[in-house]
Amino acid sequence: MLRFRAVGLLPVVPLAAAALLLTACADGPAPVPSGAPSTPSASSPGPSAPTGGGTPSTAAPSTASPTGSLPLTGPTASLSGFGTAPVTGGTEWPGPAQALLVRVAVGSHTGYDRLVLEFAVGPVPTYEVTPQRDAEFFRDASDAEVVLSGDTGVLVVLRGTTVAPTARSWLLPRYPAVREVERIGDFEAVVSYGVGVAGVARVRVTTLSSPARLVVDVLHPAATAG
């Protein structure tokens, strides 16, 4: 009889343990399977916008970052250094090496808009930035006419340069100064972009490093250059 009672008490022990286990699971967090993706927080960034040519990028003016999530670096407060004369510079790459253009972006600041052309490695290749009195351009090498949005324009020519698929070929920001940007040439290591500008095209050109960038600022029509 003692042996029977001992055996009869055995089922009581696992039932009590099971009750304790259920209570602990109810109070604690739900387990996450190994390898399952975590839920993003409210502050987590969303997917980046696609890059590459073929579809225009349209954005409202911003002082944070330009289309393509490229930081706007360089002078932001001063409106000095703008003019209507052509600007040349850069470094000639020793052949057969060529610069690789990987990103084209635009952004808007107080008083001016900014076009940034970024390269995979430095230095910035030789360039020519030429303001012009209309927004009419011609493709290289077909010589086909391209008319961009705007009253005037800026022609940006890069020599000894090739283009990566990530570099946009067409942007349509409709900013106060920069209205439209389009690649109009990529032939025999010469890459060119036309920029449609509202009002008179007045530019300021600088180069930056880490990464290598050519920066073209275009003064807003209502702004006064210092």
DSSP string covering 21-41? HHHHHHHSPPP--TTPPPPPP
Residues 6+ apart with CB under 8 A from 42: none
* Residues 73, 208 contacting (CB under 8 angstroms): yes
Q: Tell me the domain boundaries of the chain.
A: 87-219
Sign of CA dihedral 198, 90, 116, 183: positive
Q: Is the pLDDT of residue 8 over 80?
A: no
- Residue 29's pLDDT is what? 38
d(Cα 154, Cα 21) in Å, to the nearest integer? 73
Q: Please tell me whether the peptide bond between 211 and the residue prior to it is cis, using omega within 30 degrees of 0.
A: yes
- Residue 77's pLDDT is what? 52
Read off the pLDDT of residues 130-163 as tens digits, 9 standing for 90 and up.
999 999 999 999 999 999 999 999 999 999 999 9
Top-tier CATH class for 87-219: mainly beta
- Residue 78's pLDDT is what? 81
Q: What are phi and psi of 86, to 5 degrees?
A: -60, 150
Mean pLDDT of the 111-124 span: 98
pTM: 0.69
Read off the pLDDT of residues 61-106 as tens digits, 9 standing for 90 and up.
333 333 333 444 444 558 999 999 999 999 999 989 999 999 999 9
Mean pLDDT of the 202-208 span: 98
Residues 6+ apart with CB under 8 A from 137: 145, 146, 147, 148, 153, 155, 182, 184, 194
225 pLDDT band (50/70/90 cuts)?
A: confident
